[in-house]
Amino acid sequence: MKHFNLMLLTMLLPLCMMGQQRISGKITDSRKRPLQGVNISIKDSYDGATSGADGSYSFTTDAKGTQYITATLLGYASQEQKIFITGPQEINIIMRNNVNDLKVVTISAGSFEASDEGKATVLKPLDIVTTAGANADIVNALKTLPGTQQTNDREGLFVRGGTGYETQTFIDGMMVRNPFFSGLPDQPGRGRFSPFLFKGTTFSSGGYSAQYGQGLSSALILESTDLPQRSSYSLGASVIGVSGGLEELMRDKKGSFGVEADYTHLGPYLGVVKPTYAFSKNPEIIGTSANFRRKTSSTGMIKFYGYYNQTNMGTIRPSLEYPGFEELFELKNKNVYTNLTYKESLGHDWKLNAGFSFSSNADNIYLDTLNKTNPLKGKTQSQLTQTRLVLTKGLGQYSILRLGGEYQYGVEKSNFGGWQANYVDNYTAGFAESDIYVTPRLVARVGGRVEYTSILAKANVAPRASLAYRLTANSQFSLAYGDFYQKPEQQYLRFKNDLGFTKATHYIASYQHVSKNYTLRVEAFYKKYNDLVKTGRDTSTSGTGYAKGIELFWRDRKTIKNTDYWISYSYLDTKRNYLNYPFEVQPDFAAKHTLSIVYKYFIPAIATNLGVTYSFSTGRPYYNPNLPVEKFMSEKTMTYNSVGFSASYLTSIRKAFTIFVLSVSNAPNFKQVYGYRYSTDKLRRQEIVPNMPRFVYLGMFMNFGIDRRQDMINNL
């Protein structure tokens, strides 16, 4: 009988559950504002409702007894509440903002990041290519960001009162010894690497991670692309040359390889547009590169990139020393760069990044005051071999620990007119750093770097620390501090090696507001220089200096339809006593005020992107040897103005994605004077001006997908 009751109960159980109850209530956020669109349900049943505009909901359910009511809404943490249903119920639920990746604070002081997806970034990789006047050169594009100087007569990126040498370039963590093409006097070479090679670019104007060293001022951190989505080949032609490339995605879609070649010759262009100084040899560049990428497992990846390039060029200009004579300067450069990296997850939240890189650079220089002096031949060579290993461990939900080491073997050789000055350096560094999330809103990065270099026979310990605090969903405040050491430039080390490390200490405070369409950044910094190179009777590292300033960045993608613009302003107060300076003065590469406005306008109807970039900076000091010592660097050049223009038309020719680009740098042909050079007898001077003050570039690029299946489908 007992069993019979049980049987009856079992059979009738589903029926017993009939009888409906009404559940209703209101859903609000933590500030009691009603939430619309919340999905409320009785767990494991169909019963539920969606909240209305006033946050209220109501539904009936057959469920009885102990149940769970759930509420979900995008951007909010899902709620689950235990309820006991006996009759009609009113259940009010408060939902809290979800802490997702987008809203977790990240270290931002001093750095600008350009990357594809996910986090709200200040720049996209394409921005680098489409910035007018930058001519698709990463460094030129970065010169529209705050902190950089318009120092276009010297090689490199001049950041916050630092020289070009103080900015170090890294590809996948590894230092690049010669990131720029070798240039002619006063005409620096552009960056060697195409922006299309990289999926992420981080430009740090100070206070950067202990992972990177040997840059007193700045780090340009480039991250190479992963596997392409499909096989393709590309062709390019422009007024200065041609290029072609092939990229093949392997059949299993786990690997790819590619080759590229380009040939540049400025002869035809210079036949039409006359430069300031004639070329004895029109610039000619031959470049090739190869890459290979392979997924070794679901988390592992091996990447190889190799590059060979040679350039050949020369100019003739009126001699400053010998009036009526001409100076010949000819340059041949050969450059090899290779980079091999491997990454893999080791389990237990450990990740490994390993890298090996070899690079070699040779410059052959030929100098001659024609018909006056004997020619001088010079040769400089550098080779850098390096390995790097980084282990990363995830700690908890967000925190990370990084440990790593690197070793570099550098050979520097030079030979001028038979005078040789060579050296070899073994550089070893180790670092440890941790990003500690106290809460998702507050992160501290604490770390340090230890370095030893055999040429100086000295070691250093560089502490680094930064802190970021998220104020609201879109805004955060950050602080950064760090010591940065760098070997003196090769030209001084060649002749004297009992020098020390040069040193800079950074202090940065920054506020930023980043939403999808607007970015505002304000950053203030103070940088103290110690042990800078001093020349004169004896070379030493006893120079000093400082830089301080305020920088603003504003970007708006929304206010004006189809328009995206940004404005950068930098105020820089810097003085230094280095090289042959008699005391601390504003150096000749630094301007007090720098402004850039980048404007991009997209016309969807004709698929054309128009861009204008305006750059301005106040005059830079120059050395006039006719003035007394106390007036050293007291005179300033004219202000710098430049307007770059670009138009790109996107189209397809047959099956090829095609871009036509027209770009004009310094379109109004403003006169630009970077400084003056004086003759030894101080009687004559020459303006330092760009050799091609206005450059017109017209080119087209085609990219063909060679996915056969796609073609077949399209022809069905």
List interacting residues with other proteins (CB under 8 A): 3, 6-7, 10-14, 37, 39, 41, 43-50, 72, 74-75, 116, 124-126, 130, 229-230, 516-517, 602, 607, 609, 650-652, 655, 657, 705, 709-710, 713-714, 716
Residue 193: name the closest of 112, 268, 129 by CA. 129
Q: Which residue lies nearer to other proteins by CB, 36 or 422?
A: 36
Least Å distance, CB 669 to other proteins, is 30
- Which is nearer to other proteins, 558 or 631 (by Cβ)? 558
Q: How far is CA 640 from the centre of its chain?
A: 25
Nearest of 101, 83, 104, 102 to residue 92 by alpha carbon: 83
Closest CB 54 distance from other proteins, rounded Å:
14
Nearer to other proteins, 89 or 276 (CB): 89
Q: How many angstroms separate the Cα of 474 from the Cα of each of 30, 238, 306?
A: 18, 43, 40
**Checking DSSP bridges between strand 423-439 and strand 419-420, what pairing results, if any?**
unpaired
Q: How far is the CB of 94 from other proteins (least distance, A)?
A: 19
Tokens of 680: 């030894």
Phi, psi of 99 (to 5 degrees): -95, 95
Q: Which CB atom, from 60 or from 669, has the smaller least distance to other proteins? A: 60
**Cβ closest to other proteins, residue 232 vs residue 408:** 232
Contact 57, 38 (CB under 8 A): yes
Least gap, CB of 7 to other proteins (angstroms)? 4
Any residues with CB less than 8 A from the CB of 486 and at least 6 apart, and which?
165, 166, 168, 213, 214, 215, 216, 501, 502, 503, 504
| Residue 206 C-beta: closest distance to other proteins, Å | 28
Q: Which is nearer to other proteins, 513 or 694 (CB)?
A: 513
What is the number of other CB atoms lying within 10 angstroms of the CB of residue 260? Answer: 21
Nearest CB to other proteins, comparing residues 7 and 461: 7
The single-letter code of the amino acid at 312 is N
Q: DSSP letters along 307-375, please?
A: EEEEEEEEEEEE-SSSTT-EEEEEEEEEEEEEEEEEEEEEETTEEEEEEEEEEEEEEEEEEEETTTS--
Between β-strands 93-95 and 21-29, what pairing exists: parallel, antiparallel or unpaired?
A: parallel
CA-to-CA distance for 538 and 421, rounded, in angstroms? 17
Cβ-based nearer residue to other proteins, 246 or 354: 246
Least Cβ distance, residue 234 to other proteins (angstroms): 13
Instruction: Pick between residue 141 and residue 157 the one whose CB is nearest to other proteins.
Output: 141
Cα-based distances in Å from 684 to 316, 395, 457, 630, 632: 18, 65, 44, 21, 18
Q: Which amino acid is present at 97?
A: N
Least distance to other proteins from the beta carbon of 170, Å? 24
Closest CB 68 distance from other proteins, rounded Å:
11
User: Least distance to other proteins from the beta carbon of 632, Å?
Assistant: 49
Spatial contact of 40 and 90, defined as CB atoms under 8 Å apart: no
Q: Which C-beta is closer to other proteins: that of 122 or that of 175?
A: 122
If we measure between CA atoms, which residue out of 410, 402, 398 comes closest to residue 173?
402
Q: How far is the CB of 42 from other proteins (least distance, A)?
A: 9
Least distance CB 710 / other proteins (angstroms): 7
Q: Which is nearer to other proteins, 74 or 629 (CB)?
A: 74
- Tokens coding 427: 């550089």
Q: Is 27 helix (H, G, I), strand (E, B) or coil?
A: strand
